[in-house]
Amino acid sequence: MDFPEEDTQEGLESNQYNEQRALCLHSFSDLSHVSAATFMYLLKDCYLYGTSKATPKFRVLQLQVKMALHTAPQPGPFTYVVQCMYIVPLLGKTHAEGFSHMLISSLKHLKSVASVQKDFLDAKHLAARLILDILASVVPHEERILVKLIEVFDIELRDMAHALYGSELGDEDLVKAREHLKQHVHCLMKSESYVTAVALITRFSIQCCDESFLTKLIESNYFEAAEKWAAFKGKEMICLVIQKYLEMKMLKGANELVKQYDLTKEFPYVNYLYKESVLKKLAEKGCWDIAEVRAKKETKLMEYLIYLAMEAGYIEKVEELCQRYSLEGYANSLVPEEIFCGSVYLDIEKLVLEEIIWVDEIDGLLNAISYIEACKIIGVDCEWKPNFEKGSKPNKVSIIQIASDKKAFIFDLIKLYEDDPEVLDSSFRRIMGSSNILKLGYNFQCDLHQLSQSYGELKCFQYYEMLLDIQKLFKGATGGLSGLSKKILGAGLNKTRRNSNWEERPLSQNQKEYAALDAVVLVHIFHHVKGQSQFGVTEGCKVEWKSHIVSQGE
């Protein structure tokens, strides 16, 4: 039967594709008669014609390579991979490093297989030759690949000498080989390839650097390489690394080195300084409960935590800790005026907020909604109890704050939802769905997601009109809402209560003020930006704020 020319062409192409696929599958299942060059080009074709995204496609192919190296490549998997490593650069820069990593890492699980041990020992000399070719730029591989080759093939100085001078080696050959590698180290240092230089120095015991090299590594942020080189040089250099870390306030790194090399006698105070720095970071994040757990075994640390709470103006936390751990005497010895002088925060008085109204009954809800409906611009924020367990589900949103520039309402969502979810839904739909009220938030999509997760049956948090995320008006990092407040209004927000227990009832006055400020400050920032941006003088702010208003209809 005659076929149209077009159909015949399609048939030929289909047959060719099937033949190529069969060849590829056969090659992966039996490498005994497949050259390294053929294998590499088939590998590239498999990658190019795969339909998955790059990362999963790479992982699948890596699994195939691991399996293929079990199928009798000649003369053995280690030698075969070294041969492949000479071919990889010919595939182009796009694939070279990824395929090289794939090949080398696929060998790791074979190192313990008894049947390939002879091939491993033979391949060490070939791998050493390859390393020399890479160092001499004869074979263009990334330096990271060179380091991996040294590690996976367990290359020693004798292997390098064998690659340079042959199998009959004397002591003078080892000295010459080390000197040869030393010249490469100097070249690597000159080109600022410090990680590779350190890998060669420590692997082959090359003595060529002094303390200035360590300083250069640390100043260039090559901390892992600096520690590796210092360990190679001995205790004196490790102590120098610790000292430099302390000068740079890298307390975690300093503490780890002190523990690793048992240098507590030389640095008796490092562990305590590190613990203090951990407490300070936790306090800055508002994670007071975790900080308390970390500090409770040591009185000095608990005193430091009380100091941090006082510095943050978190007086109720100061009183709570003092009472629980009988440290009233310590708190009384502190001079609050001296502690507070470093922190300048916005407060209710500075923003002239007339009233904060707690709403936990339906009548109060309806009255609040009537007031808010008459506003043109409002700030919206919400809070929920933090959950510090990794991977656990976030807690339900506890409160939502809505503020004008004069009044702030804090709605007890948990109670209002329990009392009458239908009224709560219809009330908030009047606000969220209104096209007459501009609603300001900061990264509010995250809050809306959390509200929807917490109260999925309510429609009021799923659809909205006239929502403006203040964050989107500014380019670059702003340091969160507190940083933005400091930039625009001259003072930041005290975030120490951010992670307090928002399900506790009643909330403390300080918690209410914190919550209210997060909403009302949005209104003040917007008024400032709107007033300035029309003249184009607010640094970092896009003039056209209206283009950032979003809506999501039903």
Query: What is the Cα–Cα distance from 470 to 480, expressed in whole angstroms?
Result: 11
Q: Is residue 299 part of a domain?
A: yes
Cα separation, 454 vs 527, whole angstroms: 32
Mean per-residue pLDDT over the chain, rounded: 86
The pTM of the full predicted model, rounded to 2 decimals, is 0.66
Residues 291 and 222 occupy one common structural domain: no
Same domain, yes or no, for 223 and 371?
no
Claim to verify: residue 365 and residue 445 sit in the same structural domain: yes
Q: Are 336 and 480 contained in the same domain?
A: no
Q: Are 390 and 514 in a shared domain?
A: yes
| Whole-number pLDDT of residue 535 | 34
Structural domain range at position 230: 209-268
**Rounded distance between C-alpha atoms, residue 258 and residue 272, angstroms:** 12
Q: What is the pLDDT of residue 391?
A: 67
Determine, yes or no, domain membership for 28: yes
The whole-number pLDDT of residue 388 equals 67
The string of DSSP codes covering 385-438 is: ----STTPPPPPEEEEEEE-SSEEEEEEHHHHHHH-HHHHHHHHHHHHT-SSSE
Question: Are 258 and 402 contained in the same domain?
Answer: no
Domain match, 263 and 374 both:
no
In what order do the strands lie in the sheet containing 377-384?
A: 355-359, 407-412, 397-403, 377-384, 438-441, 464-469, 549-552
Instruction: Identify the pLDDT of residue 28.
Output: 61
Mapped to the 3 state alphabet, what secondary structure does 55-114 carry?
A: HHHHHHHHHHHHHHCCCCCCCCHHHHHHHHHHHHHHHCHHHHHHHHHHHHHCCHHHCCCH
- Which tokens in the block code for residue 145? 């690949």
Question: How far is it, in rounded angstroms, from Cα 156 to Cα 304?
Answer: 51
Residues of the chain with pLDDT below 50 are 1-26, 341-342, 533-543
Instruction: Say how many C-beta atoms besides its own lie within 10 A of residue 373's C-beta.
Output: 14
What CA–CA distance (Å, rounded) separates 401 from 417?
15
Contacts with 521 (C-beta within 8 Å, 6 or more apart), sequence order: 346, 351, 379, 481, 485, 489, 493
Q: How many domains does the chain have?
A: 4
Among residues 346, 381, 380, the alpha carbon closest in space to that of 483 is found at 346
Q: What are phi and psi of 188, to 5 degrees?
A: -65, -40
pLDDT recorded at residue 490: 85
In a domain, 277, yes or no: no
Q: What is the pLDDT of residues 353-362, one digit of tens each?
A: 899 999 999 9
Joined tokens for residue 247: 């000068």
What is d(CA 167, CA 181) in angstroms, rounded to the nearest whole number?
18
- Assess whether 11 and 124 both reside in one domain: yes
Q: Which of 242, 268, 294 is the last residue of a domain?
A: 268
Evaluate whether 78 touches 107 at the Cβ level (below 8 Å). yes
* CA distance linking residue 407 with residue 427, whole number of Å: 18
DSSP string, 436-479: SSEEEESSHHHHHHHHHHHSTT-STTT-EEEEEEGGGGB-S---
Do 510 and 542 reside in the same domain of the chain?
yes
Please indicate, yes or no, if residue 347 is contained in any of the structural domains: no
Q: Are 404 and 534 members of one domain?
A: yes
65 belongs to a structural domain = yes
Are both 331 and 419 inside the same structural domain? no
> Per-residue b/e over 18-37, b at no fewer than 16 CB within 10 Å?
eeeeeebeebbeebeebebe
Query: Rounded distance, CA 110 to CA 77, Å?
Result: 8
Using CA atoms, how far apart are residues 448 and 428, in angstroms rounded to an integer? 13
> 373 and 308, same structural domain?
no
How many of the other CB atoms lie within 10 Å of CB of 113?
12
Angle made by CA atoms 206, 210, 215, in degrees to the nearest 5: 120
Query: Per the domain annotation, does 200 fall within a domain?
Result: no
Q: Is residue 518 part of a domain?
A: yes
SS3 category, 552:
strand
The answer as to whether 203 is a domain residue is: no
- Whole-angstrom distance, CA of residue 539 vs CA of residue 536: 8
CATH number for the domain that contains residue 362: 3.30.420.10
